Structure 1
Amino acid sequence: MNGDESLVGNAFTGALKLLLSLDPALFRVIALSLQVSLSAVAIATALALPLGAAVALFRFPGRGLVVVALNALMGLPPVVVGLAVYLLLSRAGPLGAAGLLFTPSAMVIAQCVLVLPIVAALTRQTVSDLWEEYHEQLQSLGSSRARAIPTLLWDGRFRLITAVLAGFGRASAEVGAVLIVGGNIDGFTRVMTTSIALETSKGNLGIAMALGIVLLALIGVINGLAYGIGELARRHYG
């Protein structure tokens, strides 16, 4: 028992030293993690907001299947996404000529695939609820469904920001997909989650714990922001 406590204590002490000394290698990993996740969330959000709103407002054959698919894809297994993107970007794949495999760009694509259905599904639900509430008023003003999309997205901005934060939380904590398509290359595609897995397996618990502390802090901030925005939304919508 004392040995276990000593191991944890040494790992925690080492983690604090690395964080307080602003270890360059550690913060390169953190910076790349944020760069990849923020890029993926930005791209996914730009695609998911109009997609979710369009599915909410327009009626077309197979719409029910699209709604079911979006909801189901929210729980996509990361390793399956990683495999699909790997096959897409491999030399024998349709996008192999682009040479994106084992690059940060491949990691962005994988995380984007994971985040997009989350934001799209939550956007669809938000816009659908707002349309039921305001469609008579909007139609009386001569607004078509297509023209109502920007208005409804803006009115639901607090809920949608929470959806985007949920997507960012999924991306920042993901390990399977980025490990497959990024290769966990030191100094190039190594991010926090893959570093934690690698350093733990190597017995470098100080580095793993330092990155774990940063990742937990990041997730805590995301949850805090989501809670705060949720409170603002409740006040806004009464």
Structure 2
Amino acid sequence: MSLGPFGLAFDLIASGDPELMQIIGLSLRVTLTAVAIGCALGLPLGAALALARFPGRSVVVVVFNALMGLPPVVAGLAIYLLLSRSGPLGPLGLLFTPTAMVLAQTILILPIVISLTRSVIEVLWDEYQEQFRSLGSGRIRAVPTLLWDGRFSLLTGVLAGFGRASAEVGAILIVGGNIAGHTRTMTTAITLETSRGNLGLAVALGIILIGLTLSFNALAFGASGWARRVAG
């Protein structure tokens, strides 16, 4: 008797199917790299936006909030035009490579991290600004301290960025090309294998993707709970 899609999926997972492992490994490398870059840029930029005062600041805030809902295919098209042969970065030959996929995911993650960081840091600054001023610390000098103090709240932004990147299909399909063994990720493979009728591999990848998302959220929840117990 032939196995159904779920039976095939669990068989692939249990046996450590090489194709499955390769797709998972590439997906994690691309997504985690994009999240790391997005956080390295977005956390300080978001904190600076929360504390800085300049003409047009409210417009910048609105723009970043709007970009949180940026359609992935638009981000993918922008990176494609940038990296295509006729684009300014065409000579680098990055189109249809994991690097191009990282760039596309970073563009999607960055506005989320910046906007959520700005929100968290604004609240912390309102709460502690008198203490900072009494110590002679200005707004910019307070950024590292505020980021550290709000690190567990900022996990929300990091997880939101991870969720956005890990679930992405359109942008990485445009700039990566879904090339087997080279740029095929979990989401693009699920789309392709479902259209082919290869539901076993598609379901296996879906199970792994859900499991990774739940694991990251559980770790963040546990870290936040531990921090509250230590603080208390």
Per the TM superposition, whether the score is higher than 0.5 is yes
State yes or no: 1:93 paired with 2:91.
no
Q: How far has the Cα of 1:224 moved from its partner? A: 2.2
Which residue pairs with 1:171 in the alignment? 165
Q: How far has the Cα of 1:232 moved from its partner? A: 5.0
Which residue pairs with 2:47 in the alignment? 53
Contact 1:86/1:180 (8 A) holds in 2 = yes
The change in CA–CA distance for 1:61 and 1:134 in structure 2 (over 3 A counts) is same
Q: How far has the Cα of 1:25 moved from its partner? A: 1.0
Q: How far has the Cα of 1:210 moved from its partner? A: 0.5
Which residue pairs with 2:67 in the alignment? 73
CA distance in 1, matches of 2:231, 2:60: 28
Q: Deviations over 1:177-199 (max 9, x none)?
A: 00010000000000000000000
Which residue pairs with 1:108 in the alignment? 102
Q: Deviations over 1:133-172 (max 9, x none)?
A: 0001001001011110001000001011221111111111
CA distance in 2, matches of 1:228, 1:133: 25
The change in CA–CA distance for 1:86 and 1:17 in structure 2 (over 3 A counts) is same
Which residue pairs with 1:151 in the alignment? 145
State yes or no: 1:180 paired with 2:174.
yes
CA distance in 2, matches of 1:187, 1:41: 22
Q: Deviations over 1:106-139 (max 9, x none)?
A: 0000000000110110100111100000001001
Q: CA RMSD in A?
A: 1.7
Contact 1:162/1:229 (8 A) holds in 2 = no
Contact 1:196/1:207 (8 A) holds in 2 = yes
Unaligned 5+ segments in structure 2 are: none
Which residue pairs with 2:115 in the alignment? 121
CA distance in 1, matches of 2:112, 2:225: 21
Q: How far has the Cα of 1:220 moved from its partner? A: 1.4
Which residue pairs with 2:125 in the alignment? 131
Correspondences of 1:11-50 after superposition (within 5 Å): 11-50=5-44
One-letter amino acid of the counterpart of residue 155, structure 1? D
- TM-score (norm: length of structure 1): 0.93
One-letter amino acid of the counterpart of residue 131, structure 2? Q
One-letter amino acid of the counterpart of residue 79, structure 1? V
Contact 1:162/1:230 (8 A) holds in 2 = no
CA distance in 2, matches of 1:126, 1:74: 16
Q: How far has the Cα of 1:231 moved from its partner? A: 4.1
Q: How far has the Cα of 1:219 moved from its partner? A: 1.5
- TM-score (norm: length of structure 2): 0.95
State yes or no: 1:222 paired with 2:220.
no
One-letter amino acid of the counterpart of residue 194, structure 2? T
CA distance in 1, matches of 2:226, 2:130: 26
Count of aligned positions = 232
Q: How far has the Cα of 1:234 moved from its partner? A: 5.9
Unaligned 5+ segments in structure 1 are: 1-5
CA distance in 2, matches of 1:80, 1:193: 18
Structure 2 SS opposite 1:159? helix
